[in-house]
Amino acid sequence: MKRILKDNRQIQSVARALDILEVLAKAPGELGLNEVALMTGLNVSTCHHIVQTLLTRGYVSQAQRGQGYALGSRVLELSSFSARQRSLVDITMPELKRLNKVAGENVHLAVMQGTDLVVLAELDSTKVVRVVTGGISYASAAHATALGKAILAWLPEQEVFRLLDQKGQTKFTENTITNRHDLIEALRHIRRFGVAEDEQEFLPGVMSVGAALRDYSGTVLGSLGCTFPQDRGDKDHLQTLKFAVKESAASLAEKFGRTHSQRGIRRRE
């Protein structure tokens, strides 16, 4: 098979790895190394090195007798993860819109992707003065945001330690919690009261509240929360937002199969 000419801006090794994955995806069965090399236009030695790398990472699997190759389980895992994320957005969006209307503030839906905090959906406040977060990365801010801390609070402590070992506790503002012991204590407080707060810990002049989304088994699916200017963070508004966020999390808990006793809150009529 003749290889298609590549754009000069592409990274050659990445393009070759993707060529191999595409060939294996289209194959009716397992392919030998020589077949993969022929169909991708690679020499056998180069093809072997790339296949071995993909094999080590789980993107390629090898037949028991070591003769043929096929797509690995990691490809399916990523596809499944992507589908679950789309499903989570679809399930939560009506409640996110309701919360956005009730709270009048920015509303976010977030998940952990590996060690990165990722915002999947965001609805802007309709108020003239509002927080603008477009283009801001939350990847390393799980410890400094209500969205992130709401998730961390319900993870096993060893998992939290592993995440902190890899990501650290970047000091974004003077209020960021950079001490591990202090963060663990904050997470315990969140578990007790069911809501996380961020008082200018990630962005100066910005506050947020958040609550975890968990399924019937207690597994954390993600979190939702409101972000708002510090000038609107008076005691009454803060309490209103805390209740609204916990209420939305409780409402979604029903969709995820959690019981009333697990939810711990009931919506006001």
At a CB cut-off of 8 Å and minimum separation 6, what does 88 contact? 109, 111, 120, 213, 221, 222
Which pLDDT band holds residue 167 (cuts at 50, 70, 90)? very high
Q: Are 109 and 88 in contact (CB under 8 A)?
A: yes
Which pLDDT does position 1 carry in this prediction? 42
Which pLDDT band holds residue 50 (cuts at 50, 70, 90)? very high
Which 3 state secondary structure label does DSSP give 238?
helix
Q: What is the DSSP letter of 107?
A: E
Residue 106 bridge partners (DSSP): 227
Highest mean pLDDT among 128-137, 230-239, 247-256: 230-239
Mean pLDDT, residues 239-258 taken together: 88
Which pLDDT band holds residue 213 (cuts at 50, 70, 90)? very high
pTM greater than the 0.85 cutoff: no
Cα separation, 196 vs 12, whole angstroms: 45
Highest mean pLDDT among 55-64, 79-88, 160-169: 160-169
Which pLDDT does position 26 carry in this prediction? 87
Is the pLDDT at 7 greater than 60, yes or no?
Answer: no
Which pLDDT does position 5 carry in this prediction? 43
Which pLDDT does position 238 carry in this prediction? 94
- Identify the residue whose tokens are 């801390």: 149
Which pLDDT does position 269 carry in this prediction? 35
